[in-house]
Amino acid sequence: MATRSRLGLVARRLAGAIPSIIGVVVVTFVLTRALPGDPAAYFAGAAADAESIEAVRHQLGLDRSLPEQFVGYVVALAQGDLGTSVSSGRPVTIELAERLPASIELTGLGLLFALMVAIPLGVLAATRPNSWVDHLCRVVVTAGVSLPTFFSGLFLVYVFYYLLGWAPSPLGRLDFIYLPPPQVTGFYTVDALLAGDTETFFAALRQLVLPALTLGLFALAPIARMTRGSMIQVLSGDFVRTARAMGLRRRTVLITYALRNALLPVITTLGMVFSFLLGSNVLVEKVFSWPGVGSWAIEGLIASDYAAVQGFVLTMAMLFIAVNLAIDVLYTLIDPRLGMDG
């Protein structure tokens, strides 16, 4: 019985994402077609003449009515058609697909680093109020959200590349003396391991460390803040007192009883954290010349490559919705209280 209602709840969560998807599609449509100025001129790029603008106008259906255009836009989207990039002349979908793994590898590692530091930090700060860990946590939390990612990235480059010489030059995913591993997943580290090439794996990892660290430093603050707050609240809870009164070991009380409960609200904030991460990712990619979707979008912005920017915004929004959905589903599966009466 419980399982079925749980599945129903998951289904309802999935259905709940539909309005967001519709909203995102409408907004990207409005951003590109319904604004003052001539969208055809935008899409054709800065260097286009009157004839090619007309060609683009017809190709995009901009000479038709807005509802018609919207239908055409949605149909094209459903077929995975995001238009053609003016600067490269290639389909935006293909350009994005080529670069997305680089960005996901970076963001994923950044998030992993943030979680691995922030959760223990938050737990320690909560269990030892007013100790040095607690003060450290407070400083990290306030400084972390104040730090411009592009600035902290440059700072890390200066210290670890220029001064200490520990990090490789901040130029891309792999030093030019290495060849990218044969593509399977698109993640260089994973692909190198799959190919059994540890040397390339470490080379790729070395390139990843600083940018991932930069992203992680930024994402750390909200996670640590939430973990600490939630942990303090749970630790003062009745059931933790019960667990202590039953003589359970400190470890069990802290991890099995307190932390598992405290992580539930942390999971929900991960959505917000991910929103910040996808944004900062753009900045970090620029700082480290990372060949991901972010730096590609920046190039598109500067070159007035309209389709590129629009495709980027849409892809990031869809990715974000997917992540939020995954978080919601995860939460539903973890918390037994949901799905019974909700």
Partner 1 sequence: MTSTFARHLVYVLRDNPVTVVAFGLFLVLVVLGLFGPLLAPYDPLATQAALALQPPNASHWFGTDHLGRDVLSRVIVAARLDLLISVCAVTLSFALGSSLGAVAGFYGGIADRVIGRVADTIMAFPLFVLAMGIVAALGNTVENIVYATAIINLPFYARVARAEVAIRRQAGFVDAARLAGNGELRLLALHIFPNTLPPMMVQVSLNMGWAILNAAGLSFIGLGVRPPTPEWGIMVAEGATYIISGEWWLALFPGAALMLAVFCFNLLGDGLRDLIDPRKRT
Partner 2 sequence: MAAALLAVDRLSVSFRTRSGVVKALEEVSFAVGRGEMVGLVGESGSGKSVSAYAVMGIQDPAARITGGTMHYSGVDLTAASERDLQDLRGCEMSMIFQSPRTALNPIRTIGRQIADVLLRHSGATTRTARDKAVEALAQVRITDPARRYGAYPFELSGGMCQRVMIAMALACDPQLLILDEPTTGLDVTTQAAIMDLVQELCRARNMGALLITHDLHMAADYCDRLVVMHAGHVVESAAVATLLSNPRHPYTAGLIAATPAPDRGLEAITSIPGSLPDLRGTLPPCRYRQRCTRALPACDLPGLAMTELDTGHLVKCRNPL
Kindly tell me which of 284 and 338 has the beta carbon lying closer to partner 2: 338
Per-residue burial over 215-229, b if 16 or more Cβ lie within 10 Å, else e, is: bbbbbbbbbbbbbbb
Which of 101/153 has CB closer to partner 1? 153
Q: Which partner from the list partner 2, partner 1, none does 229 bind, CB cut-off 5 to 8 Å by kind?
A: partner 1
118 is a site residue for partner 1 (CB under 8 A): no
Closest CB to partner 1 among 187 and 288? 288
155 binds, among partner 2, partner 1, none (CB under 5 to 8 A by kind): partner 1
Task: Give the nearest distance from C-beta 249 to partner 1 in angstroms.
Answer: 28
**Closest C-alpha among 62, 86, 75, 44 to residue 308:** 86
CA angle 320, 104, 273 (to 5 degrees): 45
Per CB under 8 A, 278 contacts partner 1: yes
Q: Kindly tell me which of 189 and 227 has the beta carbon lying closer to partner 1.
A: 227
Q: Is 35 in the site for partner 1 (CB under 8 A)?
A: yes
CA distance 4 to 298: 46
Shortest spacing between CB 231 and partner 2, in angstroms: 14
Polymer length of the chain: 342
In the bound complex, what is the minimum distance in angstroms from residue 260's beta carbon to partner 1? Answer: 21
Min dist. Cβ of residue 258 to partner 2 (A): 9
Kindly state whether residue 124 participates in binding partner 1, applying the rule CB under 8 A: no
Site for partner 1 in 48-107 (CB under 8 A): none
- Residue 214 CB neighbour total at 10 angstroms: 29
Amino acid identity, position 97: A
Among 151, 166, 202, 239, binds partner 1 (CB under 8 A): 151
Compute the least distance from the CB of residue 87 to partner 1, in Å.
14
Q: Are 102 and 292 in contact (CB under 8 A)?
A: yes
Query: Considering the rule CB under 8 A, would residue 239 count as an interface residue with partner 1?
Result: no
Residue linked to tokens 């003060």: 135
Of partner 2, partner 1, none, which one does residue 185 interact with (CB within 5 to 8 Å by kind)? none
The set of long-range contacts for 43-49, using a CB threshold of 8 Å and a minimum separation of 24, is 43/83, 43/86, 43/306, 43/307, 44/86, 45/86, 45/87, 45/303, 45/304, 45/305, 45/306, 46/303, 46/304, 48/86
In the bound complex, what is the minimum distance in angstroms from residue 30's beta carbon to partner 2? Answer: 43
Q: Cα(29)–Cα(214) distance, rounded to whole angstroms?
A: 33
* Number of other CB atoms surrounding residue 299 within 10 Å: 16
Task: State the angle between helix axes of 149-156 and 198-235 in degrees (0 to 180), rounded to the nearest 10.
Answer: 130
Binding site for partner 2 (CB under 8 A): 237-239, 241-250, 252, 256-257, 260-261, 264, 334-337, 340
257 binds, among partner 1, partner 2, none (CB under 5 to 8 A by kind): partner 2
Residue closer to partner 1 by CB (options 209, 301) is: 301
Contact flag: residue 131 with partner 1 (CB under 8 A): no
